[in-house]
A = this chain, B = another copy of it.
Amino acid sequence: MKSIFTRIIEREIPAYIVYEDEKVIAFLDISQATKGHTLVVPKEAYPNLFEMPEELASHVMNVSIKLAKAIKKAFNPLGLNLLNNNGEIAGQSVFHFHMHLIPRYENNDIHIRFTNHMDELNQEEYKKRAEQITSALS
């Protein structure tokens, strides 16, 4: 089944498109978590980061930088988050890879909160985790 993003790309449903080239499209996130909240979406529908070809992901990043600069120029936010959610547990709701650009202003009702677990971990545990990643890389 086509994702809602594919339907936007194919002009079956409307969206506020801010950028388009051969490989990606960018449009306003309909939720506008903040003013200027934009999605950068590859036209080919990969479900998530794990499936994305590196070259296409690089292009998404290039377009994201251009748009981040444009959003800064347009709305003068105090900051900006780049966010890409993979998996329902990570907040992904459309299973067609997309990068969020979320400009940040004073008093946004946005919450990104992590807990520091440093006090619970010993050096051995850090070392083990790092080694597991390094082994999986090769």
Contact = CB atoms under 8 A, between A and B. Distances in A.
This chain's copy number in the assembly: 2
Interface in A98-116: 99, 102, 104-106, 109-116
Contact of A118 (B31, B61, B135): B31
Interface residues of A, number: 77
A40 to B, nearest CB: 12
- The prevalent SS among residues of A at the interface is mixed
A66 interface: yes
Contact of A61 (B57, B86, B91): B57
B74 A78 contact: no
Nearest to A105: B89
A13 interface: no
23 contacts: A18-B130, A30-B118, A32-B118, A32-B121, A32-B129, A33-B116, A36-B129, A50-B65, A54-B65, A54-B66, A57-B61, A57-B64, A58-B61, A70-B137, A74-B135, A79-B89, A80-B86, A81-B83, A81-B84, A82-B82, A82-B83, A91-B112, A110-B115
